[in-house]
Structures are given as C-alpha cells and as structure tokens.
Amino acid sequence: MSPPLEGLRVIDFTRVLAGPLCTKTLLDLGAQVTKIEPPSGDVGRAGFPLIGDMSVYYIQQNAGKRNVSIDLNYEEAREIVKRMCDTADIIVENFRPGTLDRFGLGYEQVRARNPRVIYASLSGYGQNTSWSNRPAFAPTVQAESGLTDIVEQHFGDALTEPRNDACSHADVYTGMQGVIGILAALQHRNQTGEGQHVDVAMAATMLAVNERLGAQLSGVDTEGEPTILSATDSHIYALPNGVRITIASSPVFTPMFIRYCAMMRRNDIRSDPRFATALLRRRNLKLLLAEIQAWLATFENLEDLQTQISEAGLALGVIRSTSEFADMDWVSEWGALVDVDDRSGGSLRMPGPPWHFSSCTLPGPGVPGFQGEQNESVLRDEGIGEHTIAELKARRILLSRRNPFGSFD
C-alpha cells in the first residue's frame, strides 16, 4: 500500500536541525521533498564526523531529499523557485522571521499565487512577537524557557560545574510540532480547500513539552515530595556484576517508598523514623539508597531482579550506550535502524521510522544529496529548458559542490 503522504510535494527552505527534521519526517511518511540550499550551503553539512565529503549529521536529517542549490539574490533564480512553490502542497522554512519575504517567498507572497499551500515557519519566538528577531539556537531557547534550570536543579551538587543538556531538545521537539501543525493544516485543507500559515515557536514548544510546568507554576509546596510521580527522579544503581540499572521511580516519593519497602520485604525500613516523611527521606537519602543497593546485591542475575521489580509494579532499565542498544535484538525486530548510503561506497546506520502502519508501506531511507546534485533534473521537471539551465550554471546562479569546505563545481 502507498505511504500516507504519497503525492504531496514539499519545498524545504530549512537548515541545521529543527526544519530539516520536520521535512525529513514528512519524507519518511511518503512526501516528495525538494531542499533549496543557498550558495553557502546548509550549515549542517559542516557537522563532524565526515564520511568522505558528506557530513553524518547532515545525512541523518536530509537523506532522500532532492537537492537544488540556487542563488536567490538573482531575479531569475527567484522566479524559478516561485514556480516550484506554485505547485507545492507544503513549504517549510526556519529562517529568522521576514527573511524569505525579502526574496518574494514569504507566506503572503506565496499564498497570493498558491492559496492552497500549507506554509510552516519554525523560529525561536514566533513570527510576530517582541522577540521575533532574537537569534535562536537550542541551548539558548532551553535556557530561556526553563529546561537548563530544570537540569541544574535536578542534578544539584552532582554537577561539578553548570552544564547544558547534551541534546538539542528545542530543535527536535519544534521539528516534530511542525509536523503536527502541518498535518492538522492538511486536514483543514481537505475539509475547506484552504491553505494556511503554521507558525511554530521553539520557546512555546519547550513550555508545551515540559511535563513539570503545571507543578512548577502552581506555587504549591510539596514538602519534599518529588513532582510528576517521581519517574524522572530515578536513581542509578550498580549490580554486583558491574551492570548499572535504573528503576523508574524515586523512593523519596511516598507511594513509591511504600512499594520499595514491600518489594524488598523490609517493613523495618518502612517504620524507620529516619524515613517517615519525604523531607526525612531526602535528608537521609544516602542511607536509604544504601539499603536499596544492598538488596540489589542479593540477586545473582538480572532476570530474577526484573521479575521481582515487575511484581511491585515498577520498571527496570539497564544503562546502555547507544551503540550497545543498537546491537540488541529488539532494534532489528522493530526495524529501528536502517542502512543509509554514505556516498563513499559504504553505509551508515541511521534512525528508522518510529511508526508501523497496518495499511501503508513506508518508503526506504533514500540517499543524501550533495549540494546542488539534483539541480538539472529538478529544473527539467519544472519545465526549464536546457539552454536556460546551461546559462544559469555558467552565470553561477545554479551551483553545486561535493565538499562543504570546497569550491563550487
């Protein structure tokens, strides 16, 4: 069966992460995506490591997209890209607000020619706010919107120095929220025939995905009890064989403390005055964790421990590296990783689709394009003649190169 978004045409003006992840997700669902790169190229192409002349970082977010590299400072180039937008179902951009308007490719300008278009703009603080023109990168938006503070508060004295999170949550979540907004707008178009602008703000996204937000803003003193059921306050323990695990709950949280005591068959701990309240358990946490660690040491194998923890209604997870998890049987069973051509004669393992559809077959991962690799074929599809294409290449309006640090072909 056809993939869910087969037949939809996407014009991708995005770069780095939030936008490319959004359009890659649409591609994974079956849409045709044509990426428009400026002469300077997508900054993501410079991400290390490189395999030959291709960035692994770039491959992950852009494999399978058709690639056109064209200089929009020229009127001829702008007219070609406008023609492409005339027949697009979806346009996605993540420039600073107003950037594409200067090229005649902003939402209102495109809508005047293509009223059915779904035009998604991903930015730090939205298109029309007092912060619209602020530069926005994942670490800065995470700092502004509370995530960095949560990380510091959560780890407390365990951090030897203030640290940012290692992952670009604001970019990734915004890309996914962009997909959700686009799919909702497509459904609205199916009902009304009208396109619309989808404005997605990274800062608003970070508030939306913060499951602690309601508790944080309530002003309620929990008297030492962890918020949001304590799963994110889980501790890490070491088994006698050196394997490290986490149990998805904190024994500080009163309902979980009761479960821990029952799981360990330790009514004496439950009645111990040092652990009578959440505040006392926090004060004596090292002692409490030592009791749990001693109990864990009585198990000879992980399977028996898993069984007893599951009987208590809790979940155990082994601390693994990404590489270790990638080699687990489950990953191949699901198809969670796929092999993608690295353009140097080999392949790389990349994330596969996180969905299984009962009535749709998803496309393969596709091949990552070098900058401008599909210039000629895409323009031919748009009805541009060979003479015009040759002239655009000769005038260096239509550009291509393999190495992100090299010269144009």
pLDDT at residue 407 is higher than 90: no
Average pLDDT over residues 131-139: 90
- Model pLDDT, residue 293: 95
Model pLDDT for residues 76-98, shown as the tens digit of each residue:
999 999 999 999 999 999 999 99
- Model pLDDT, residue 160: 60
| pTM greater than 0.85 (yes/no) | yes
CATH of domain 9-210+331-394: 3.40.50.10540
- Model pLDDT, residue 300: 85
Model pLDDT for residues 245-257, shown as the tens digit of each residue:
999 999 999 999 9
- Model pLDDT, residue 156: 64
Backbone φ and ψ for 196, nearest 5 degrees, come out as: -165, 170
- Model pLDDT, residue 157: 61
- Model pLDDT, residue 401: 93
- Model pLDDT, residue 247: 94
Average pLDDT over residues 350-373: 96
Average pLDDT over residues 11-18: 98
pLDDT above 90 coverage of the chain, percent: 88
- d(CA 39, CA 45) in angstroms, rounded, equals 12
pLDDT at residue 385 is higher than 70: yes
Across the chain, what does the average pLDDT equal? Answer: 94
- Model pLDDT, residue 159: 56
Where do the domains of the chain lie? 9-210+331-394, 244-318
- Model pLDDT, residue 23: 98
Predicted confidence band of residue 158 (pLDDT cuts 50, 70, 90): low
Pull the structure tokens for residue 81: 């890209």
Model pLDDT for residues 185-235, shown as the tens digit of each residue:
999 999 999 999 999 999 999 999 999 999 999 999 999 999 889 888 899
- Nearest one of 18, 333, 58, 386 to 201, comparing CA atoms: 18
Residue that wins the pLDDT comparison between 408 and 320: 320
- Model pLDDT, residue 83: 96
Average pLDDT over residues 9-24: 98
- d(CA 98, CA 81) in angstroms, rounded, equals 17
Average pLDDT over residues 19-35: 98
Predicted confidence band of residue 408 (pLDDT cuts 50, 70, 90): confident
Predicted confidence band of residue 139 (pLDDT cuts 50, 70, 90): confident
Average pLDDT over residues 282-288: 96
